[in-house]
Structure 1
Amino acid sequence: MKRKVLDLVWGALVPPLVAVVGAMLVTSVVIALSGGSAGDFLSTMVSLPNERVRLTIINQSAMLSIAAFAAAIGFRMGLFNIGVEGQYIVGSCAGAFFAGSGVIPGPLNIVATLIVAAAAGAAYASIAGLLKVFRGVSEVISAIMLNYIAVTTAGYLVTKYGKESGYTYTTEKLPPDSQPLGFKIFPDAPGDVWALSSLAIIIGLGYWFALSRTRFGFELRVTGESATAAAASGVNVRRMTLVAMALSGAVAGLVWMPAYFGSVHTFGPPENFQAGLGFLGLAVALLGRNRTLGIFFGAILFAYLSGQSNALQSAGIAKDVIDITQGIVVLAVVVAYEVIGRRRAKAEAERVSRQLAAESEAVAA
């Protein structure tokens, strides 16, 4: 039991903590070399955010978590679904058009819109899956191209079929009877925690249960570790690839739904839409090692860093410092996990070697 606890601490908790501390120190050095105040940076990053920023962190971490789970499904299958960004744009666009039309009234419109957004994301991700399975096209290449197509297509559809709003175009506004109530956690914050932020928890629990407690999850993990071994065990690798891509895209299609139903109520770039969440989700999934608790930790960390950007600007530090810190955190955690992994592998090899030596001596005696 004690050994398991130590393995958990060294394998799951120490690497991200080391990565965060290392990122802060490296970023401080960069700021100092550029003529800024490293002390102001560190004091700002460890200070308690005000209620408005805390509200933003919670809402932002929900969307980042959903994006990360979408990416993690692909990673566990051995697929690099870099198309999460495009799939989430397609899902958001389709969902906003459907919800704004008011075809289904009241709360049922929320459920129907979630289905439409997930279906649109799944269908778009399936394009990359089909190209990989039947034509051997790398999902990385096809997904990158599909990202650009998604941005252009969404912009065209909103301009063509949306309504004019100032100098831009948006979809029809979400009907008032389909706007769920939020959670008033911070009395002094100008807004609520979005009701659909709970989607992140639901998806996270579903992700954990599916991967650790179902046959589908077992086959997904086996295929991701070795497609040859999976095929030899009777797993249909092609089918698993298509299902994994579609499932990843379905989750990606839901990324913007908390914000859409929570406060925005329209879709229309760039003012009412936050681009880049799909790419940040990839980083969060890597930071969390594709594990549920790790993803939640990474999402909160990235949301916290983004939330403190305004405070950094007030201290005279460029907002781009946050991007530097996020990049260093991901790089540092990858290095930390690699170092810890090698250390554990070496320790395990030494333990097995000692055990074999002891058994040999016992047989000889």
Structure 2
Amino acid sequence: MKNTFDKERLLLGAAGPVIALVTSVVLTSIVLVLSGKSPIEPYTIMFTQATYSDVQVLIINQAAMYYLAALAVAIGFRMNLFNIGVDGQYRLAAMVAAIVGAKVALPAALQLPMLIIVAMLTGAMWAGIAGILKVTRGVSEVVATIMLNSIASGLIGYLYLPEIFGVQVGNNKTTGTMHESGWFPGINMGASGEIYGFVVIAALLGVVYWFVLNRTRFGFDLRATGSSESAAAASGVDAKRMVLTAMLVSGGLAGLAGMPLLLGEAHTYSLTFPTTIGFTGITIALLGRNSPVGIAFASLLIAWLDKASQQLDFEGYDKEIATIMQGIIVIAVVVSYESVRVWGQRRQQRRVGIELGTALARPTDTNDLKKEVAAR
């Protein structure tokens, strides 16, 4: 009975992402057909790109950033919070870390931990503003974090000013090159490039995320509060404290999303530093169902769509095909998850009804009935 239940739960868990991906491919293929293009060749081109070692390195590096952003979003989701401000939190954290890395020179054993802590504290502080507004004034974290994204952009623009921390390099504005003691060593792949060393940190944080949420009292309190604040309060959990804590942790993780690129390759924050990674993290967290393993596969998938699709421009196709697929995935994943959840719930209710009816119809004494119920 238990094995059957576990297998069904596993199948239901996999059904949502599979339906979303199949729907995305089908609808994108329809768009290609309507535009007079081959519905198969673009996928062939992108799959071929994924076989090249240099593209694989790019995909892994990009996936590391997506993974950290998605973990930050997932923390909020598990708490029933929608931290839509991950993008602003990670950009501001990356810039502050870049400024500190350019102004302060310590031995590598101290410089790297300092920069990581600075990034986490900056992201946590920026997310904490939304958390404080929610627990003290009841302001929706969605509204607060959206506004904070805009404020972060303005603040970054201010910090770019030459009289503040900005350095003009041609047509680009930067924060200056960081001291080499703050460069995170990578994994040399020869001619294929270098995998960011921070990829290892991202993987370890995934393990920590799983352990804290599933094997600690804090994780239980967080999940319980996300499921029902009133029930959590009845068991002695301070819901407001958990909301604020979840926002701080989410912001701290968001602050690390830019570190793979900043410490591993760019070594400065400039106008070319990528944006929208925080919003992509929302897609990945949804597709990965807030599971560290699911998020890892979703990060690799979205990174593959980003990097492999660049070849489409040279083959007569628009690389925006990948963007269309990502957009459809967002819509399809929400619809498919809800459909699967409702179907699974109805199936479970029907099974319980059948088993209960069978047990009541079978002639047996009270002791046998008790034993059968206990066994089930």
Q: Under a length normalisation based on structure 1, what TM-score does the superposition of the two structures give?
A: 0.95
Cα distance, 1:363 vs structure 2: 5.9
State the distance in 2 between where 1:283 and 1:85 align: 13
State the distance in 1 between where 2:106 and 2:300 align: 34
CA deviation profile, 1:314-354 (whole Å, cap 9, x unmatched): 22111211111011122222222222222221221111112
The answer to whether the 8 A contact 1:24-1:42 is kept is: no
Q: How does 1:221-232 map to 2 (within 5 A)?
A: 221-232=223-234
Q: How does 1:83-98 map to 2 (within 5 A)?
A: 83-98=85-100
**Stretch of structure 1 that moved more, 308-317 or 233-242:** 308-317
Whichever residue aligns with residue 179 of structure 1, its letter is W
Q: How does 1:213-224 map to 2 (within 5 A)?
A: 213-224=215-226
State the distance in 1 between where 2:205 and 2:300 align: 16
Q: Under a length normalisation based on structure 2, what TM-score does the superposition of the two structures give?
A: 0.92
- Give the structure 2 partner of residue 289 of structure 1: 289
State the distance in 1 between where 2:4 and 2:48 align: 35
Q: How does 1:91-110 map to 2 (within 5 A)?
A: 91-110=93-112
State the distance in 2 between where 1:2 and 1:197 align: 35
The answer to whether the 8 A contact 1:40-1:315 is kept is: no
Cα distance, 1:261 vs structure 2: 0.9
CA deviation profile, 1:157-193 (whole Å, cap 9, x unmatched): 02232222112321121112332321123x331x200
- Give the structure 2 partner of residue 11 of structure 1: 12
Query: What SS is found at the alignment partner of 2:212?
Result: helix
Cα distance, 1:48 vs structure 2: 4.5
Query: What SS is found at the alignment partner of 1:169?
Result: strand
CA deviation profile, 1:32-79 (whole Å, cap 9, x unmatched): 112222232232233242222111100000100000000000111111
CA deviation profile, 1:220-249 (whole Å, cap 9, x unmatched): 001001111111111101100110000000
- Give the structure 2 partner of residue 274 of structure 1: 274
Q: Name the % identity.
A: 40
The answer to whether the 8 A contact 1:28-1:41 is kept is: no
State the distance in 2 between where 1:47 and 1:15 align: 27
Whichever residue aligns with residue 166 of structure 1, its letter is G
Q: How does 1:236-247 map to 2 (within 5 A)?
A: 236-247=238-249
Count the aligned residue pairs.
361
**Stretch of structure 1 that moved more, 126-135 or 19-28:** 19-28
The answer to whether the 8 A contact 1:195-1:258 is kept is: yes
Whichever residue aligns with residue 230 of structure 2, its letter is T
Asked which structure has the greater CA Rg, the reply is 2
CA deviation profile, 1:228-279 (whole Å, cap 9, x unmatched): 111111110110011000000000001000111111000022x2x1001000
Cα distance, 1:4 vs structure 2: 4.5
- Give the structure 2 partner of residue 180 of structure 1: 184
Cα distance, 1:27 vs structure 2: 0.4
Q: Mind listing any 5+ residue stretches in structure 2 that lack a counterpart?
A: 366-376
Query: What SS is found at the alignment partner of 1:161?
Result: coil
Whichever residue aligns with residue 236 of structure 2, its letter is G
Query: What SS is found at the alignment partner of 2:33?
Result: helix
CA deviation profile, 1:74-104 (whole Å, cap 9, x unmatched): 1111110001111111211111111111242
- Give the structure 2 partner of residue 26 of structure 1: 27
Cα distance, 1:199 vs structure 2: 2.0
State the distance in 2 between where 1:5 and 1:131 align: 41
- Give the structure 2 partner of residue 37 of structure 1: 38
State the distance in 2 between where 1:295 and 1:102 align: 35
The answer to whether the 8 A contact 1:10-1:340 is kept is: no
